[in-house]
């Protein structure tokens, strides 16, 4: 997965303007029922034990 520069700037802006601090963006894949897999995306407030940190 990749983000365009514009999308990365937007995510950064949203993280900076939240009322609760976010340390990153958590992206995952979950089972999505009969349609297969579904992607999830949420702001991360803490690093979870199984999280992988990717920085560019």
The answer to whether the predicted template modeling score (pTM) of the entire model surpasses 0.85 is no
Structural domain that includes position 40: 5-44
Asked whether residue 54 is assigned to any structural domain, the reply reads: no
| Residue 40 lies inside a defined structural domain of this protein | yes
Q: Which residue has the tokens 């920085």?
A: 55
Task: Give the whole-angstrom CA distance, residue 5 versus residue 48.
Answer: 26
**pLDDT number for residue 32:** 76
pLDDT at res. 4: 93
pLDDT of residue 56: 74
- In whole angstroms, give the CA distance from residue 43 to residue 14: 9
Assigned domain for 53 exists: no
Low-confidence stretches of the chain (pLDDT beneath 70): none
> What's the CA gap between 45 and 49, in Å, rounded?
13
Tokens of 33: 């029922």
Q: What is the pLDDT of residue 12?
A: 92
Number of domains in the chain: 1
pLDDT computed for residue 33 by the predictor: 76
56: in domain:
no
Mean pLDDT, the chain, whole residue set = 90
27 lies in some domain = yes
């Amino acid at each position: 997965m990749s983000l365009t520069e514009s999308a990365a700037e937007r995510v950064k802006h949203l993280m900076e303007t939240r009322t609760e601090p976010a340390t990153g963006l958590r992206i995952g894949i979950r089972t999505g029922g009969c349609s297969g897999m579904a992607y999830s995306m949420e702001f991360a407030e803490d690093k979870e034990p199984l999280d992988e940190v990717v920085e560019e």
